[in-house]
């Protein structure tokens, strides 16, 4: 298959290792990955903050960037960005009365998948160790981000993939379905409430005894990781794609926390 990677703006700028891991997994399965150069961002921050007018050029750019490429499926390592592409883009286009954009957005949205969705539903990956050679000998807990869980109905897809990684010890997260408190600009506008939610999430993660909390949304992971870092926790966050990409030959190395300092970029590979 020819797969177009939608890196998402946050992964592109802050977590390139997550995008590299995504490419690596797909190429390991024998697929061709392309990167539409015009892409930038899904515009969800603008939409969710009520800045519809400012969101429109961002949406237009995304739709145009993907419409002009030739591919079988687009993939993003982010549930919420995929949900935005699928749901918010046509909504915004309709709201602005741009029927052409709405139709194009529907077309792009229909071909866009979240990574675990693509792996499980389209590429038939059910066992990460067997099919991807995934190996990661660490104790890992897992936070399912809200938009993947509730807007895309990802269910257990990400968790199932993690649980089939060789060597991985899976520690279930108490009250996993509770929001981490990120919510885009919510974390700034209602920072106190967001922090209260974040603290409960961090407590739950620490209670598992896992050194890592995996997830599928870089923004939530940055939020949780940022909170863990601030409280000097030994735990940190990592995108599940990086765990799937890790093998015996080229393991994902998690640097030791030094004096409470946590490196959040998923380490080196």
Using CB under 8 A, pick the residue from 85, 105, 146, 173 that binds another protein.
146
Spell out the residues 6+ positions from residue 98 whose beta carbon is closer than 8 angstroms to its own. Answer: none
Q: Which stretch binds another protein (CB under 8 A): 104-112, 134-142, 143-151, 163-171?
A: 143-151
* Residue 97 binds to another protein (criterion: CB under 8 A): no
Which residue's CB is nearer to another protein, number 215 or number 225? 225
* Residue 190 binds to another protein (criterion: CB under 8 A): yes
What is the H or E stretch that residue 232 is in? none
Strand intervals (E) in 137-264: 139-142, 169-170, 212-215, 236-239
Which residue's CB is nearer to another protein, number 43 or number 215? 43
Using CB under 8 A, pick the residue from 69, 96, 150, 170 that binds another protein.
150
Using CB under 8 A, pick the residue from 181, 212, 214, 240 that binds another protein.
181
Strand ordering across the sheet containing 169-170: 169-170, 139-142, 212-215, 236-239
User: In this structure, are residues 123 and 17 in contact, taking their beta carbons and an 8 Å threshold?
Assistant: no
Using CB under 8 A, pick the residue from 172, 189, 203, 207 that binds another protein.
189
Interface positions, 111-140, toward another protein (CB under 8 A) = none
Q: In whole angstroms, what separates CA 15 from the centre of its chain?
A: 10
* Residue 17 binds to another protein (criterion: CB under 8 A): yes
User: In this structure, are residues 216 and 222 in contact, taking their beta carbons and an 8 Å threshold?
Assistant: no
* Residue 68 binds to another protein (criterion: CB under 8 A): no
* Residue 49 binds to another protein (criterion: CB under 8 A): yes
* Residue 81 binds to another protein (criterion: CB under 8 A): no
Which residue's CB is nearer to another protein, number 61 or number 163? 61
Question: Considering Cα of 11, then 12, then 16, then 19, what sign does the dihedral take?
Answer: positive
According to DSSP, the β-strands at 139-142 and 212-215 are parallel
User: What phi and psi values does residue 100 have, to the nearest 5 degrees?
Assistant: -65, -45
Total residues in contact with another protein, by rule CB under 8 A? 85
Spell out the residues 6+ positions from residue 166 whose beta carbon is closer than 8 angstroms to its own. Answer: 128, 129, 134, 135, 136, 248
Which residue's CB is nearer to another protein, number 49 or number 160? 49
Using CB under 8 A, pick the residue from 1, 65, 129, 257 that binds another protein.
65
Interface positions, 229-248, toward another protein (CB under 8 A) = 229-230
Using CB under 8 A, pick the residue from 2, 57, 207, 234 that binds another protein.
57
């Amino acid at each position: 298959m020819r797969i177009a990677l939608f890196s998402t703006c946050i992964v592109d700028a802050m977590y390139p290792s997550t995008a590299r891991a995504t490419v690596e997994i797909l190429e390991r399965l024998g697929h061709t990955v392309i990167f539409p150069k015009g892409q930038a961002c899904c515009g969800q921050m603008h939409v969710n903050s009520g800045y519809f007018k400012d969101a429109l050029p961002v949406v237009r750019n995304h739709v145009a960037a993907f419409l002009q490429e030739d591919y079988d499926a687009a993939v993003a390592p982010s549930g919420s960005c995929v949900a935005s592409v699928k749901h918010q883009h046509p909504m915004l286009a309709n709201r602005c009365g741009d029927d052409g954009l709405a139709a194009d957005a529907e077309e792009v949205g229909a071909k866009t998948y979240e990574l675990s969705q693509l792996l499980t539903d389209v590429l038939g990956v059910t066992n990460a160790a067997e099919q991807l050679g995934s190996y990661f000998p660490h104790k890992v807990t897992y936070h399912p981000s809200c938009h993947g869980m509730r807007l895309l109905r990802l269910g257990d897809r990400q968790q199932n993939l993690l649980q089939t990684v060789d060597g991985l010890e899976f520690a279930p997260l108490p009250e996993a379905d509770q929001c981490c408190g990120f919510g885009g600009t919510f974390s700034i506008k209602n920072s106190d409430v967001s922090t209260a939610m974040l603290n409960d999430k961090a407590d739950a993660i620490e209670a598992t005894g896992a050194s890592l909390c995996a997830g599928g949304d870089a923004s939530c992971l940055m939020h949780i990781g940022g909170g863990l870092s601030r409280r000097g926790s030994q735990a940190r966050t990592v995108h599940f794609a990086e765990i799937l990409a890790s093998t015996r030959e080229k393991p994902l190395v998690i640097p030791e926390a030094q004096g409470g300092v946590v490196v959040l970029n998923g380490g080196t590979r």
